[in-house]
Copies of this chain bind each other. A is one copy, B any other.
Amino acid sequence: MFPGRLHLFACLGLLTAAGLTVKFTHPPQVAMAASAPAYAQNGDMLPPVNYREWIYLSSGIDMSYSPKAAANSDHSMFDNVFVNPDAYRSFLSTGAWPDKTVIVLEVRGARSKGSINQRGHFQDTAIMDIEVHVKDESRFPSKWAFFSFDSPSANGTLIPQGAPCYSCHAAHGAVDTTFVQFYPTLLPIAQARQTLSTEFLKENGEQGFGK
């Protein structure tokens, strides 16, 4: 496990050393019909197959809430975050997430030498993990839930409400349990609309972080 690994969500510390090999080799076959969340009869979430055509929010690399390097920190990873277009447009107007918001976190390995590149990092073709943070008010008691996907083509498994990602997002998420502080085009909107959470403002000062 990567105990201190943050990513942009907080649940992907579930990656094991073995998990560093590529999990996903096939393109998705079945998915949400549109960008609204949809579920199987057993409560699993259908995969958001076209999330790469949604709105890009940001990327990070090797983000962690621990000052110490993680055990497997020899392998750098990028996190890319996307949101469904309807939720994005609503956020632009209001600074808040509407019901049926779907935020997708995609993890890719970081490569350094390849083609003419000699330094820094670029992203590998292989996806290492996918996690979804979904707001579905009538479905989840706390409105939001996290799902973990073993493959972009398989249904996602609900992460239980007691998992650390829920308490970490509640305590530190800038807007409505989401890490808007790491989404550079959205943070100024939340600041202007005054939708930053009380917890976040206490932790980061009156204007919040990023000013």
Residues of chain A touching chain B, judged by Cβ–Cβ distance below 8 Å, are 4, 6, 8, 52-53, 55-56, 58-67, 69, 78, 80, 82, 85, 88, 108, 110, 114-126, 168, 172, 174, 179, 181-182, 184-185, 187-188, 200, 203-204, 209-210
Contacts and interface: CB of A to CB of B under 8 A. Distances in A.
A162 B125 CA distance: 32
Contacts of A59: 59, 78, 80, 123
A62 B120 contact: yes
A64 B117 contact: yes
A152 to B, nearest CB: 11
Given A61-B110, A62-B119, A63-B121, 15 more contacts: A6-B120, A52-B185, A60-B117, A62-B120, A63-B119, A64-B119, A64-B120, A65-B116, A66-B118, A67-B118, A67-B119, A114-B209, A115-B174, A115-B182, A125-B188
Nearest to A54: B56
Nearest to A8: B122
Contacts of A115: 172, 174, 179, 181-182, 200, 203-204, 209
A53 B62 CA distance: 25
Complex copy number for this chain: 2
Given A63-B122, A188-B125, A182 B117 contact: yes
B121 A61 contact: yes
A40 to B, nearest CB: 26
A56 B82 contact: yes
A184 B108 contact: yes
A65 B117 contact: yes
Contact of A119 (B55, B69, B124): B69
Nearest to A92: B53
A187 B52 contact: no
